[in-house]
Structure 1
Amino acid sequence: MPKFDTVVINGVLVSASDVSSNCIGIKDGKITVLAERFSDDDLRGAEVIDAEGAYVMPGGVDGHVHLCQDLQTGPHGLGGRCADDFLTGSRSAMCGGTTTIITFATQTRSEPDRSLLGVVGRYKARADATGSYIDYGFHVIIVRDDGDVLEEEMPRLVSEWGITSCKLFLTYETQRLSDKQLLNVMYEARKNRITTMIHAENGDAIEWLTDKLEERNKIAPYYHAWSRPPAVEGEATNRAIALAELIQNPILFVHIGSALAMKNVRKAQTRGLPVYAETCPQYFNLTWNDLKKFHDPSCFENSKMICSPPPPPDASDADELYLGLHNGTFTIFSSDHCPFRYDDPHGKPTGVLEHAESMTGEPEPESCLDGHALCDLVSRKTGAFKFIPNGIPGVETRLPLLYTTALQTGRISPQKFVELTSTNPAKLYGLYPRKGSLMPGADADIIIWHPDHSFVPFSLTNDRLHHNVDYTPYEGQQFTNWPRYTLSRGQVVYRNGQITGKVGYGQYLKRGQSQLATAQGRKQDPRRVADWLYE
């Protein structure tokens, strides 16, 4: 019987702490041995992968991916529908070097969705319906503060489903929580050691600014950015930090997009608070100018670039955000893959179909669902940014973008790359050391890059990608490397541009408690903290 199923040789192994020249032995889906070299006997019968001096890293862990979500909240019930399901989303992820994704099971405010367990069960059924190429887990989005549900079901989310994280919103009318509701949910999350993720934008400020823009007829997609200047993220991060400190609840800010919000996080961390932060590729590679790149600022095609928070006003924020990657302000680097098609009435065109003024004199929205009619409509209309689904695709480009813009330029080290994209997400979300490591006993989730000296840089086009979206916001961007091999639990699922994995191979992951998001046991200031809550 062969000693190993697969071995990786001649690679530069990178962990979150070290760089070495070891080889990897894999058996039954696990890393079993790290060695300086293998003998001929060791290699006999094994598949040998020669890394040819390239970086070998733990597979990417993307802790922020939206799949199979319906956000049909517009006046005509169209709203947004995620273009990717678990099949297409996981396929795209693995082709970009990601071997674990954590997606969202979304509660709504409708009465049938009071039960968080019911919500999770329905999303698991969606995953089962298609299968996944790679391993996956769930966060739960909570938009209600029903005391009986939180008290009864949060412990069961942990024990029965291994769901140890929840996401809360400070914006979006259908999802945001008031400060009191936020405290109610965070309080129960703290009792169950559930990591609290916060989407921090001031919803009231955004609505007020949107109203003022509409009064001035500034409704084209470009003005989405004007409705969400960095100040609304800055205020919301400050407020959430104050509330979390009050009840001593660790929090993670998702998709921090501005230097202003990053500085708020850094200040809290300097005071010793358990405050963590995530950022995403769009905040390093896009700016407000990208919201007017198609033809002119009023062109509806600019809706392809809309996400929330929007990219920063100019590239100066990106320079500061890179510093946040380098110095540890940012704990993780995720994609926030939130895919909406441009040729789908449940995608970006919702911004026209749900906008009454744009539809004046036009057929009813249901008559525009044909592809040609929809294309004609959006080519003639400005639409209104407030009806456009917020989100862009990026699960496949996350790692290659960071490699190109940060690792290869020397802005971050190889170890920091692994820490941000794999090890820290695994630790934060209760998957380490099974995921996010190259140590013996870990799942053999591995990325092998191309040797830098032999890789031919290319300009990205959407047809190279494997998602179910008809565009990429990074069209034309130069890439200087891309994963050559992706291994998921020992199986080569992507090799030299070809998919070799099988849908359904991915397993659901029950996660443990976070190894990072813990309150620190230092003396608390009674002027800031309600210690008596836990007496």
Structure 2
Amino acid sequence: MASKFDLVIVNGTVVTASDISSCCIGIKDEKIRALAQSFTDDEIAGAEVIDAEGAYVMPGGIDAHVHLCQDLKTGPHGLGGECADNFETGSRSAIAGGTTTVITFATQTRAEEDRSLIKVVEAYNARAEATGSYADYGFHIIIVRNDADVLENELPVLIQDWGISSCKLFMTYETQRLTDSQLLDVMFAARKNAITTMIHAENGDMIEWLTDKLEGKGMVAPFYHALSRPPLVEGEATNRAIALAQLIQNPILFVHVGSALGAANVRKAQTMGLPVYAETCPQYFNLTWEDLKRFHSPTCFENSKMICSPPPPPDNSDQEDLFTGLHNGTFTIYSSDHCPFRYDHPHGKPTGVLEDEASMHGESACTGHNIQDLLSRKEGAFRFIPNGIPGVETRLPLLYTGALAAGRITPQKFVELTSTNPAKLYGLYPRKGALMPGSDADLVIWHPEKKFQPFRLTNSQLHHNVDYTPYEGQEFINWPRYTILRGKVVWANGEIKGKPRDGKYQKRGPSQLSHGLPGHDRDPHTVAAWLYK
């Protein structure tokens, strides 16, 4: 007689986005089949059994903002950033941190060969298939052009054939940003196809102007990256993007909101009933401008390890407002924005020196140990440093330590932010992000808190392909004990158990979150409703 279940979790404190209960979970053929107060001996006969020992059992994490296998070689000498993690190493790091699904970015460029979004996706998918993935995965599409025929003809194909139901647009970076008119073109096409529009909201003109002024004063070391992007840069851009979205009634999500000013703009729009959502990330709760002076001196190039965009807030006063945003629903999702660049690779952080003419004057080309010698003598120029830090593995443990265990959010809110809302926003629910019969058996089981020994993190404990972590030395009070992907244990007690081909590509549907209050789409003061007649 065949076993009723393949895997059973007993003695768990089972947490969903709405409830907490003490129950058991039965898994069969990659799916959750039953939740019950208990199972009989006959029901669990032949099944693998995991005793959660009273610890939290949650839906597997969904990290909807992960950069893998991306090239950002936009520097004057063709260097620029090259993501340190491919799908194998990045997803390995994900499962070790309790994340079972990642959504990454197929990136269009302005080169003519990237005009077709379909070809961009096909080329990016080949990179994923080349290595395989430990975690399930899907793609967003980054759009940097407003070619009318491509938007008209290819967006429906991306939805139908690839299940890509989200696009990302930029308001900064010379090689990627769109003008307001171009933003409206893409947002209008996205709305017609029920594609969720993600916005990187920073005012590119303000950043360029401030960068020029800083360079004029010789203020080019990594720390000054923060001064080129004060919170007002995000505040202005979020406010402008909300107005654009309101004009054509297009639901939007702001990625990596890191300032109280940006969060306040989002909250105001939500109070008005607009379909405006926001994502935030661990760096904005754990780092400040002071961390850009962490290494040796404010002008030390090693501080480039801490550069991300937007930068963390100036001080921890913003962090209190951001915690409030987690609590009150201003933030819909909590992602890592894992964007990894090595410090020992010419296509990583060292491009901030290698691309800088002043730093390289009188220097010969160098590699390996010679790069480290060069970096120790030069402060580089922040303009050329790739923006991004690693964080896919530490995302859930940081939120557990800093918010859940500290009483700033409930266990239900933790699940909502890290799994259920990403699944709903990006068309994966209830296949993902849920613990109910028929859902994929994706779970993360934590350690019983009283049995876990807090520790201080070192990079050697992580599983990414990056030679540093911005959270080195930070204390963690819990870590995933088990990660389960569609019924298979892929991480257990500090060891990788899965394989690079365990992950499957996930086609997604439209967002299941609100499209705004009824009636707001007909107000002639703010909406061009005639567009849809």
TM range (shorter): over 0.9
Report what 1:128 is aligned to: 129
For residues 216-295 of structure 1, what are the structure 2 equivalents within 5 Å?
216-295=217-296
Alpha-carbon separation, structure 2, partners of 1:521 and 1:102: 31
For residues 350-389 of structure 1, what are the structure 2 equivalents within 5 Å?
350-363=351-364, 367-368=365-366, 370-389=367-386
Alpha-carbon separation, structure 1, partners of 2:358 and 2:526: 49
Alpha-carbon separation, structure 1, partners of 2:146 and 2:43: 57
Matched, 1:466 2:463: yes
Alpha-carbon separation, structure 2, partners of 1:348 and 1:155: 38
Q: Which residue of 430, 433, 436 maps to 2:433?
A: 436
Alpha-carbon separation, structure 2, partners of 1:213 and 1:526: 43
Alpha-carbon displacement from aligned partner over 1:457-496 (angstroms, at most 9, x marks no partner):
0000000000000000000000000000000000000000
For residues 17-166 of structure 1, what are the structure 2 equivalents within 5 Å?
17-166=18-167
Alpha-carbon separation, structure 1, partners of 2:117 and 2:310: 26
Matched, 1:426 2:423: yes
Alpha-carbon displacement from aligned partner over 1:9-45 (angstroms, at most 9, x marks no partner):
0010000000000100000010000000011101110
Q: Quick one: which amino acid aligns to residue 523 of structure 2?
A: D
Q: Quick one: which amino acid aligns to residue 531 of structure 1?
A: A
Report what 2:196 is aligned to: 195
Report what 1:478 is aligned to: 475
Residue 518 of structure 1, CA deviation: 2.3
- Secondary structure of 1:22's match? strand
Q: Quick one: which amino acid aligns to residue 479 of structure 2?
A: W
Alpha-carbon separation, structure 2, partners of 1:522 and 1:307: 39
1:428–1:517 contact (8 Å) kept in structure 2: no
Q: Quick one: which amino acid aligns to residue 528 of structure 1?
A: T
2:62–2:101 contact (8 Å) kept in structure 1: yes
Percent identity at matched positions? 74
Q: Which residue of 516, 526, 529 maps to 2:527?
A: 529
2:273–2:516 contact (8 Å) kept in structure 1: no
Report what 1:457 is aligned to: 454
Alpha-carbon separation, structure 2, partners of 1:517 and 1:98: 25
Q: Quick one: which amino acid aligns to residue 384 of structure 2?
A: F
Alpha-carbon displacement from aligned partner over 1:378-400 (angstroms, at most 9, x marks no partner):
11000000100000000000000
Alpha-carbon displacement from aligned partner over 1:175-219 (angstroms, at most 9, x marks no partner):
000000000000000000000000000000000000000010000
Alpha-carbon displacement from aligned partner over 1:383-439 (angstroms, at most 9, x marks no partner):
000100000000000000000000000000000000000000000000000000010
Q: Quick one: which amino acid aligns to residue 534 of structure 1?
A: Y
Alpha-carbon separation, structure 2, partners of 1:156 and 1:13: 39
2:278–2:331 contact (8 Å) kept in structure 1: yes
Alpha-carbon separation, structure 1, partners of 2:131 and 2:155: 27
Q: How many residues align?
A: 531
- Secondary structure of 2:473's match? coil
Alpha-carbon displacement from aligned partner over 1:53-72 (angstroms, at most 9, x marks no partner):
00000000000000000000
Report what 2:346 is aligned to: 345
Alpha-carbon displacement from aligned partner over 1:286-305 (angstroms, at most 9, x marks no partner):
00000000000000000000
The TM-score, its normalising length taken from structure 1, stands at 0.99
Residue 532 of structure 1, CA deviation: 0.5
Matched, 1:503 2:500: yes
Q: Quick one: which amino acid aligns to residue 394 of structure 2?
A: T
Residue 520 of structure 1, CA deviation: 3.7
Alpha-carbon separation, structure 2, partners of 1:471 and 1:401: 16
- Secondary structure of 1:21's match? strand
Alpha-carbon displacement from aligned partner over 1:109-153 (angstroms, at most 9, x marks no partner):
000000000000001000000000110000000000000101000
1:288–1:314 contact (8 Å) kept in structure 2: yes
Q: Quick one: which amino acid aligns to residue 401 of structure 1?
A: L
CA RMSD of aligned residues (A): 0.6
Alpha-carbon separation, structure 1, partners of 2:283 and 2:502: 30
Residue 519 of structure 1, CA deviation: 4.1
Alpha-carbon separation, structure 2, partners of 1:29 and 1:250: 33
Alpha-carbon separation, structure 1, partners of 2:372 and 2:221: 17
- Secondary structure of 1:244's match? helix
Alpha-carbon separation, structure 1, partners of 2:519 and 2:303: 49
Query: Runs in 1 of length 4+ with deviation above 4 angstroms?
Result: none
The TM-score, its normalising length taken from structure 2, stands at 0.99
- Secondary structure of 1:390's match? coil
Alpha-carbon separation, structure 2, partners of 1:518 and 1:381: 50
Residue 522 of structure 1, CA deviation: 1.7
Alpha-carbon separation, structure 2, partners of 1:341 and 1:134: 22
Residue 506 of structure 1, CA deviation: 0.4
Residue 531 of structure 1, CA deviation: 0.6
Matched, 1:447 2:441: no
Alpha-carbon separation, structure 2, partners of 1:503 and 1:44: 30
Alpha-carbon displacement from aligned partner over 1:339-382 (angstroms, at most 9, x marks no partner):
0000000000000000000000101xxx21x2111010011000
Residue 516 of structure 1, CA deviation: 1.0
Residue 521 of structure 1, CA deviation: 2.5
1:251–1:517 contact (8 Å) kept in structure 2: no
Matched, 1:186 2:187: yes
For residues 278-357 of structure 1, what are the structure 2 equivalents within 5 Å?
278-357=279-358
Alpha-carbon separation, structure 1, partners of 2:517 and 2:166: 19
Q: Quick one: which amino acid aligns to residue 256 of structure 2?
A: H
- Secondary structure of 2:347's match? coil
1:83–1:339 contact (8 Å) kept in structure 2: yes
Alpha-carbon separation, structure 2, partners of 1:71 and 1:115: 19
Q: Quick one: which amino acid aligns to residue 423 of structure 1?
A: T
Q: Quick one: which amino acid aligns to residue 259 of structure 2?
A: S
Alpha-carbon separation, structure 2, partners of 1:187 and 1:306: 33
1:170–1:176 contact (8 Å) kept in structure 2: yes
Q: Which residue of 510, 513, 516 maps to 2:510?
A: 513
1:9–1:48 contact (8 Å) kept in structure 2: yes
Alpha-carbon separation, structure 1, partners of 2:525 and 2:213: 38
Alpha-carbon separation, structure 2, partners of 1:4 and 1:303: 50
Q: Quick one: which amino acid aligns to residue 530 of structure 1?
A: A
Residue 517 of structure 1, CA deviation: 5.3
Alpha-carbon displacement from aligned partner over 1:237-259 (angstroms, at most 9, x marks no partner):
00000000000000000000000
Classify 1:144/1:461 alpha carbon distance in 2 versus 1 (closer, same or farther; 3 Å).
same
Report what 1:392 is aligned to: 389
Q: Quick one: which amino acid aligns to residue 239 of structure 2?
A: N
- Secondary structure of 1:99's match? strand
- Secondary structure of 2:8's match? strand
